[in-house]
Copies of this chain bind each other. A is one copy, B any other.
């Protein structure tokens, strides 16, 4: 098999062609498409299609939408991504977390008519697409970085818990609703007596089968003579087998007449062309949700894209990925779909099955298209319990509470962010959860930088190094006080530094010099500059000279544009050693003090 990445000598193309293929990646890989690549892509597409049929139906159900909208979201969006996306193995389409967020977003609107519900989902896809496109054009992909890993991990885990719980009602055949874990479980418990035993039997059997497929099918297939990789991929067809078997049973025994909820009539044929609704009120009320869905979808997609790209030394262009996902969502909105993104599980399968180019995604779209024609009449008798079982087995792999243990051991602030995200998501819902997580991460970061680590430093004997007097046996002289501040100086911590220096200066009448060692100061903003001016002025009143040392080049360039340097009572030294020897030569004769205790 060829590797298109290494076949592309960048210098061989004209700049215009390179710019074009940067924005239309299909021109790049499409021009080198050959028979080998086609075979690989087709193989992968067949396997992903088999996996996607039940998933697309199930996730539409999770989003509270008609099953066919899942199929529609799995056709044109995949082709749009194939044209604009940069990840080769990414499988775009409906995914669990975004489906849950879609349900939450539309649930907030308080609609009762299922038609309005579908209209809102289509608008949500369009808004999400436009937001992603705008972020791509404005190169705002970095905004996704403000979702820290602990927040993402906490959010995915909590979403998985909510999704799994929300599907229990389909397994039990009862009514239950709620957008957070508390509402859901209360509702489930209330309605538990109404459990439909036939539905429960189907749901439980499907779940048991799917769990067995995940672990137990592969050894059987290997014993039957299949290769390990082939056995792995065939096991992905488990959900389709469950779907087929339960359709057959339900149809044969007319189980819908004994209360087994079925999918019902699914329209046959190509996706309809839909014109999204342009109602301003609807757009306004969905805006916040659309932003969250876009950012979460992008983060989920880019994570899996980068992980898979790394395995083949390929590169992902994050801003172009925004364009690709934006185009996919716009495509979803004009063909009756709902918000899509790159899914983790299907992308891994696509990669393992040998997908070489985004064409595999386009072939998958053709496969779903065929299904929409040929299979929809059969889907009428599909029990919702089977789809629920598919979802539950899929999302259980999302739930990973070890993030709490890992962050607890490493960083309490990261733990707080992850725990808050999980707690708020479970308690108040997905949108509140991810917002709380992001807000808390940023606040904790600001809080930390607003109280920077400040160390009093002394000379390590026989070196030119200055280290914290609390950690090292160092030499100091009583007339010179040197402090190293381990943070850029900016508005949030400028006053903290002032207070620290004034406290020290007020308590030590022997002081003649204070040196601020700036080796970790990457910036001094206007507020901090005013604080330094105030410190300089006040120390002057106390008869203490104020010096700086080891100021970085870019910081010094800026300071030179101000009056601070001329008004400074002391000097600016290139190295801390020069400063210390110049201001207190006795330091070289001092015995090294024992470490001071805190």
* Chain B residues positioned under 8 Å from A503 (CB to CB): 315
A491 in contact with B441 (CB, 8 Å) = yes
CB closest chain-B residue, reference A521: B520
Interface residues of A in 216-273 (CB under 8 A from B): none
Interface 9-mer from A166-174, A180-188, A551-559: A551-559
Judge whether B407 and A149 touch: CB under 8 Å. no
Q: By the criterion CB–CB under 8 Å, are B311 and A541 in contact?
A: yes
Of the residues B413, B452, B519, contact of A525 by C-beta under 8 Å: B413
Q: Which residues of B contact A151 (CB under 8 A)?
A: 491
Size of interface on A: residues with Cβ below 8 Å to B = 66
Neighbour of A411 across the interface among B407, B441, B525, CB < 8 A: B525
A486 interface hit (Cβ, 8 Å): yes
Question: Is A592 an interface position by the 8 A CB rule?
Answer: no
Q: A448: CB under 8 A from chain B?
A: yes
CA distance in complex: A529, B414 (Å):
11
A15 within 8 A of B: no
Is A213 located at the chain interface by the 8 A CB criterion?
no
Question: Which of A32-40, A107-115, A346-354, A492-500 touches B?
Answer: A492-500
B450 touches A145 (CB 8 A): yes
Q: Are A553 and B468 in contact (CB under 8 A)?
A: yes
Answer whether residue A432 sits at the interface, using C-beta atoms and an 8 A cutoff: no
- Asked whether A406 is an interface residue with its Cβ less than 8 Å from the other chain, the reply is yes
A1 to B553, CA, bound (A): 49
Determine whether the beta carbon of B491 is less than 8 Å from that of A410: no
Contact mask for chain A residues 531-575; partner B; CB cutoff 8 A; 1 contact, 0 none? 000100110011000000000111000100110000000000000
In the assembled complex, the CB of A257 is this many whole angstroms from the nearest CB of chain B, namely 53
Residues of B within 8 A of A453 (CB): 522, 554
Contact A526 B491 (CB under 8 A): no
Smallest Cβ-Cβ distance to A537: which chain B residue: B310
A146 at the interface (CB under 8 A from B): yes
Q: Taking the nearest CB of chain B, how far is it from the CB of A178, in angstroms?
A: 26
Question: Is A451 among interface residues, defined by CB-CB distance under 8 A?
Answer: yes
Mark interface residues in A490-523 (1 if CB within 8 Å of B CB, else 0): 1111111001001100100000000000011011
Nearest B residue to A144, CB-CB? B495
If A149-B530, A442-B446 touch, whether A561 touches B493 (CB-CB below 8 Å) is no
Known: A310-B538, A313-B506. A486 touches B522 (CB 8 A): yes
Chain B contacts for A413, CB-based, 8 A: 525
* A409 at the B interface (CB under 8 A): yes
**Which of B311, B520, B538, B542 is the one whose CB lies under 8 Å from A520?**
B520
Q: How far is the CA of A407 from the CA of B562 in the complex (A)?
A: 10
Q: Taking the full assembly, how many copies of this chain does it contain?
A: 2
Complex partner residue of A486 from B148, B486, B552, CB under 8 angstroms: B552
CB atoms of B529 and A410 under 8 A apart? yes
**B contact residues around A449 at 8 Å (CB):** 488
Cβ-based interface call for A212 (8 A)? no
Measured CA separation A492–B530 after assembly (Å): 28
Taking CB atoms, residues of chain B closer than 8 Å to A499 are 318
Q: Point out the residues of chain B lying under 8 angstroms from A336, CB to CB.
A: none
Q: Does A150 contact B (CB under 8 A)?
A: yes
By beta carbon, the residue of chain B nearest A146 is B492
Q: Does A445 contact B (CB under 8 A)?
A: yes
Most buried by B among A150, A151, A520: A520
CA distance A330 to B320 in the complex (A): 56
CB pair B496–A142 under 8 Å, yes or no, is: yes
> What are the residues of chain B within 8 A of A486 when measuring CB–CB?
522, 552
A471 within 8 A of B: yes
Known interface pairs A145-B491, A148-B526, A442-B446; 9 further A-B residue pairs with C-beta atoms within 8 A, sorted by A's residue number:
A142-B450, A147-B491, A313-B542, A315-B502, A315-B506, A407-B526, A414-B527, A519-B519, A519-B520
22 A/B residue pairs, CB under 8 Å, sorted by A: A142-B496, A145-B491, A148-B525, A310-B537, A311-B541, A313-B506, A313-B542, A315-B502, A315-B503, A409-B561, A409-B562, A410-B529, A410-B561, A410-B562, A411-B526, A442-B442, A442-B446, A445-B490, A449-B488, A486-B552, A487-B488, A519-B519
* A interface, CB within 8 angstroms of B: 142, 145-151, 310-311, 313, 315, 318, 406-407, 409-411, 413-414, 441-442, 445-446, 448-453, 468, 471, 486-488, 490-496, 499, 502-503, 506, 519-520, 522-523, 525-527, 529-530, 534, 537-538, 541-542, 552-554, 558, 561-562
Which 10 A-B residue pairs are closest in the complex by CB-CB distance? Answer: A148-B491, A149-B527, A414-B526, A486-B522, A148-B527, A310-B538, A145-B492, A145-B495, A149-B530, A520-B520
